Amino acid sequence: MARMKFLCDAERCIHCSGCVTACKNEHEVPWGINRRRVVTLNDGKPGQRSLSVACMHCSDAPCMAVCPVDCFYQTGDGIVLHNKDLCIGCGYCLYACPFGAPQYPSTSNFGGRGKMDKCTFCAGGPEADNSKAELEKYGRNRIAEGKLPLCAEMCATKALLAGDGDMVSTIYRERVMARGFGSGAAGWGHAYRDQERTRERKGAGAKE
């Protein structure tokens, strides 16, 4: 299996927020948290572009590196997941994450933030696949069912791509060649550079 990646095509995103809604509904995301968000640049001006962003599942994930209780792990497909039972709500992953992915049920409660929540690439958590415990803590596990993340699957303009990094970049390259413009893939360099620095991955596809 391959390395899973997200890519949002700024030339296609129409800021419909379907990805945000799909994610929120699919995973019964806690109140006040949106695992995905859509940001509009140059809003109302020429050259306006929108981008959908969530956890990028970085190769050398900063959240994993700074967690004092080591609650993160990376699957064989390169998906960065975490264990809410271990999380102490210290907020270090929030300090470190370049993409603002980690969020807490409570943000200003005397340091009692609650358990961190973030995008799981629709891959659940450490509990048994598709168990009730996994559903309640992390949401649905579509990857275990052989499906890709719902946000990308439901994207009306196919701006948001998710899946095998090689396949995603092939699709994107072909698009850019065909239309002849718009080649910035936001966040890619940031999230997936230094592939060699990738931590030891566990589980299916670990050996590639």
Partner 1 sequence: MRWTTLLAALLVTLACWSVPAAAATNDGAVTTSAGSDQVITTDTWRAIRQGEAGFIAGQPDQRGQLIQSEGEAWRSARNGVLAWYAGLALVGVTLAIAAFYLIRGKIRIDGGPSGKTILRFTRIERMGHWLTAGSFIVLGLTGLNMLFGRWLLEPVLGKALFAWLTWAGKWLHNIGGFVFIAGMAMIFVLWARDNLWDRYDGGWIAHGGGLLRKGDHPPAAKFNFGQKTQFWMVIVVGTLVASTGISLLFPFTFADLAGMQLMHLIHAGLAVVMVLFILGHIYIGTIGMEGASTAVTTGHVDLNWAREHHSVWAAEEEAKSAKPAE
Structure tokens that stand for 155 in this block: 């994207």
Residue 76 found at the interface with partner 1 (CB under 8 A): no
Q: Confirm if 61 and 172 have CB atoms less than 8 A apart.
A: no
- Please say which residue, 28 or 85, places its beta carbon nearer to partner 1: 85
**Which of 6, 72, 99, 192 is close enough to bind partner 1 by CB under 8 A?**
99
Q: 52 or 141, CB closer to partner 1? A: 52
70 or 145, CB closer to partner 1?
70
Task: Name which of 86 and 167 has its Cβ closer to partner 1.
Answer: 86
Assess contact for 124 and 139: CB atoms under 8 A. Answer: yes
53 binds partner 1 (CB under 8 A): yes
Nearer to partner 1 (CB atom), residue 56 or residue 143? 56
Q: Is 98 in the site for partner 1 (CB under 8 A)?
A: yes
Is residue 198 involved in binding partner 1 (CB under 8 A)?
A: no
Q: In the chain, how long is the greatest CA-to-CA distance?
A: 53
Q: Does 182 bind partner 1 (CB under 8 A)?
A: yes
Give the torsion through C-alpha atoms of 84, 89, 95, 97, to 10 deg.
Answer: 10
Pick the binder of partner 1 from 95, 136, 156, 158 (CB under 8 A): 95
Site string for partner 1, 20-49 (x = CB under 8 A): --------------x--xxxxxxx--xx-x
Is 51 a binding residue for partner 1 by CB under 8 A? The answer is yes
Binding site for partner 1 (CB under 8 A): 10-11, 17, 34, 37-43, 46-47, 49-51, 53, 62, 65-71, 83, 85-92, 94-100, 107-108, 110-111, 113, 180-182, 184, 186-187, 190
